[in-house]
């Protein structure tokens, strides 16, 4: 029960860079066996993305970028233009439950593995295909890179200090979202296969993934006719909700998502919750600058830790802005299994971000956690090739 809910599912991962590998890692985190197929010699592009690299002076450097998105996988190198290696891939496909690919549209077909061929080789195969801007349409053939997609899909126009300061999100969020949507689609297709006995092709793109999380900014335009824009660290539809300065150069984040929370905040700091222009959320949004000035004046003599304590005591949701190292040292992060130890072939024991899902089996005595407990390190290039070939011949 601790191997994961996808124990027994075989995934063949032809992807590289981030969107596809992230989908593969998500499936591996859930217990699937993921065989990563890489180019001989160089492997996945991200093996060369850095710095930072670990132990570059020893000639077997490892990219921390690659390590971030390839745990719980095996690696085999195949030249897909070689008849011998194509035969190995063919046998893997026959045995697979899932195939992942993020080539530019049409590339896999040119290599001899179009959807018709895949269906003939394995009618139960679920294929996930991730592209930059979609597999069809007037710009379906465009190459997809995260920051370009963030800009084209509108996300950068919503991120930054203001309309004239478009900013990328600090992680490749378009890639990550495409991987997440892709894994979600794979699971749905596997479930449908239980009813129909047949697999299918799941397609998504960086464009679709980013548009898929437009949320209220999307309907603000499609229904309300209003184009959203970047406005820094304050919410466009809720006030107060954002980052506020306090004493000694500190800052806190707080959210008043309801009128009762606004009244609690005002009571704690002796402010008039019913003041003209501030009594309702709509009024406060229209007077956001006034709200910010009012609160920062009230917070001016209070340091961040004291302010957080007072907000907590008052029942107002609040938090600090942590650096990455602080996040991984935080007891709450550790309690959620978000840091795991793995044994890497060249690096020894290393710590990696853990999977974000946990599973529990209810019982009369409570519940027992059934989350996958043992994780494997991202593979050295081609490390499992001989074992995989022997297994295919068995």
CA distance 347 to 64: 11
CATH class for the region spanning 241-319: alpha beta
Mean pLDDT of the chain: 96
Which candidate in 44, 175, 270, 365 is catalytic? 175
User: CATH classification of 10-215+372-393 is 2.60.40.10, yes or no?
Assistant: no
Q: List, in sequence order, every beta strand (DSSP E) within the chain.
A: 10-13, 33-38, 53-54, 62-63, 74-77, 98-101, 126-131, 201-205, 241-245, 251-255, 318-319, 339-344, 348-353, 360-363, 366-369
Residue 331 falls in the annotated catalytic set: no
- pLDDT bin (cut points 50, 70, 90) of residue 208 is very high
pLDDT, tens digit, for every residue of 218-251?
A: 999 999 999 999 999 999 999 999 999 999 899 9
**How would DSSP label each residue in 50-79?**
-S-EESGGGT--EEHHHHTT--S-EEEE--
Percentage of residues in the chain with pLDDT exceeding 70?
A: 99
pLDDT for the residue 56 = 64
pLDDT for the residue 58 = 63
Q: Could you check whether 10-215+372-393 and 241-319 share the same CATH topology?
A: no
User: Domain map of the chain by residue range?
Assistant: 10-215+372-393, 241-319
pLDDT, tens digit, for every residue of 128-139?
A: 999 999 999 999
CA dihedral 133, 135, 140, 146 (to 10 degrees): 20
pLDDT, tens digit, for every residue of 291-340?
A: 999 999 999 999 999 999 999 999 999 999 999 999 999 999 999 999 99
Residues in the chain: 394
């Amino acid at each position: 029960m601790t191997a994961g809910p996808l124990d027994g599912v075989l995934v063949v991962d032809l992807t590289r860079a981030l969107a596809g590998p992230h989908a593969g890692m998500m499936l591996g985190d859930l217990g699937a066996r993921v065989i990563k197929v890489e180019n001989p010699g160089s492997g996945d592009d991200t093996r060369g993305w850095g710095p930072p690299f670990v132990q570059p002076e020893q000639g077997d450097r490892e990219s921390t970028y690659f390590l971030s998105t390839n745990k719980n996988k095996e690696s085999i190198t195949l030249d897909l233009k070689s008849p011998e290696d194509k035969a190995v891939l063919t046998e893997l496909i026959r045995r697979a439950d899932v195939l992942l690919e993020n080539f530019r549209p049409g590339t896999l077909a040119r290599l001899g593995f179009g959807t018709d061929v895949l269906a003939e080789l394995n009618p139960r195969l679920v294929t996930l295909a991730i592209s930059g801007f979609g597999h069809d349409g007037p710009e379906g053939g465009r190459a997809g890179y995260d920051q370009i997609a963030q800009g084209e899909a509108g996300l950068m126009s919503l991120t930054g200090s203001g309309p004239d300061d478009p900013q990328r999100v600090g992680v490749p969020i378009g890639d990550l979202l495409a991987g997440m949507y892709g894994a979600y689609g794979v699971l749905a297709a596997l479930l449908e296969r239980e009813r129909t006995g047949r697999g299918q092709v799941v397609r998504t793109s960086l464009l679709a993934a980013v548009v898929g999380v437009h949320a209220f900014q999307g309907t603000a335009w499609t229904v309300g006719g209003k184009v959203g824009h970047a406005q820094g660290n304050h919410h466009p539809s809720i006030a107060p909700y954002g980052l506020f300065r306090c004493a000694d150069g500190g800052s806190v984040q707080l959210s008043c998502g309801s009128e009762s929370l606004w009244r609690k905040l005002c009571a704690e700091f002796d402010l008039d919750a019913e003041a003209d222009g501030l009594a309702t959320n709509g009024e406060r949004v229209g007077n956001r600058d006034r709200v910010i000035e009012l609160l920062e004046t009230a917070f001016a003599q209070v340091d961040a830790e004291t302010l957080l304590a007072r907000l907590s005591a008052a029942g107002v949701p609040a938090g600090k802005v942590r650096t990455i190292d602080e996040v991984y040292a935080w007891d709450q992060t550790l309690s959620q299994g978000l840091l795991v130890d793995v044994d890497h072939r060249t690096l020894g024991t290393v710590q990696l971000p853990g999977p974000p899902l946990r599973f529990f089996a209810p019982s009369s005595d409570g519940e027992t956690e059934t989350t996958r407990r043992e994780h494997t390190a991202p593979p050295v290039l081609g490390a499992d090739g001989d074992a995989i070939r022997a297994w295919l011949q068995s």
